[in-house]
Amino acid sequence: MIAVSQDDMADDCHLTNLLNYAFQIVVLLCGLDEVTNIKNIERFKKELKVCNQLIDKLVEPPVSFSTLTNTVETIASPESTILQNFLDAFTEAAESSFGCLYVDDRIVVATRKWWSLSSNELVLLTLLISSLQRCSSRDIPIFLPDSHPTIPHRLMTFRLTKKTEVCVICGQTPSLTDLEHEVGRFWRPAYDSLLSATSIVPRNIPSCMVLDPNIQCFLLVNTETSRCLGSVYSSPESSGPLGDFLTVPQRREVLSSFYKKMVGTFFNSVIEGSDTGPLEFTHQPMETYITTDSHKCYALQSGPYQLYVVYTDSIPTYAMRSVSHKTLSLLTKDKNIQV
């Protein structure tokens, strides 16, 4: 497989990561057997068409943080415990142990077994679900690239509200129609919780949590659990008294490119191959920052956590460090945040 991209001065590991995902998408949808034993090229090409849409999602902007960081995006909802109960019950009814509840393509809650999937798989499933058209329910055969690349599973998704979706991975039973009937029964009482969970989107953090007004967007990555929490809406879009803010697409772009610059050269992360750069240093880089005339970025890592923050230009450079540390502690200590 060959990837061609513009030179963004980032470490090569990011491009390799992309290639890896592209391959795994193919495996996800077509199965490893098909890929390794291509009997008929033409037929294979037709089969590959299924993957096109997903691969497009991989490279087209806006690039999601999950593929960027190789961690799955989550959301910090205060109702996660309640929703967890509902999800567990529903998953059991579906005779499976893999279940997950998505709000706006981010995981709110998921069963334990779901979390045990590899980070690649988690990300791919998220990507898949976000790439498909909206429908109330669907049943797709998938191959789990890391755990069971040759055995097809059924992925069933049900749309609960406008933005929420519940997914289960099952075997042969139950059928889609059967499970569809169960959905209403299990999830109707959870409607309010779902709504409140939906309300924190797109900010992705509980509204009671107040961050520094200079923060434009941030990304918190947990390298151990392969989860991340990103928010590009931490501050309003319009220009505030403290200086001009970037637009949302710009923020996303800045955060992504900042991440790419740091990981691979100074930080190492979940991304494969990202540790070759930092290995040049016998002393570990812990924090780093870049300032430009339109924004300032700060990145720090502490333990398993890495935090990447984009500030406005008006924050004094020396203050970034303390603010970032505070933000990190705020985010990690909150019980709602499951990163």
Applying CB under 8 A, the residues found at the interface with other proteins are 4-10, 15, 59-61, 63, 250, 253-254, 257-258, 260-261, 265-266, 280-294, 317-318, 320-322
Edge-first strand order for the sheet with 215-222 is: 72-73, 227-231, 215-222, 305-311, 296-302
**Closest CB to other proteins among residues 227, 251:** 251
Determine how β-strand 72-73 pairs with β-strand 148-159.
unpaired
Asked if 339 and 331 touch (Cβ cutoff 8 Å), the reply is yes
**Closest CB to other proteins among residues 124, 315:** 315
**Closest CB to other proteins among residues 299, 339:** 299
Taking the complex as a whole, the smallest distance from the CB of residue 315 to other proteins amounts, in Å, to 12
Taking the complex as a whole, the smallest distance from the CB of residue 47 to other proteins amounts, in Å, to 24
Taking the complex as a whole, the smallest distance from the CB of residue 282 to other proteins amounts, in Å, to 6
Taking the complex as a whole, the smallest distance from the CB of residue 277 to other proteins amounts, in Å, to 9
Taking the complex as a whole, the smallest distance from the CB of residue 6 to other proteins amounts, in Å, to 4
Chain Cα centroid distance, residue 4: 24
**Closest CB to other proteins among residues 86, 245:** 245
Query: DSSP letters along 13-67, please?
Result: HHHHHHHHHHHHHHHHHH-HHHHHS---HHHHHHHHHHHHHHHHHHHSSSPPHHH
Q: Give me 179's structure tokens.
A: 């499970």
**Closest CB to other proteins among residues 42, 280:** 280
Exposure b/e, 197-217, CB count within 10 A at least 16 = b: bbebbebbbbeebebbbbbbb
**Closest CB to other proteins among residues 61, 241:** 61
Cα atoms in the Cβ-side hemisphere of radius 13 Å centred on 135:
11
Taking the complex as a whole, the smallest distance from the CB of residue 301 to other proteins amounts, in Å, to 10
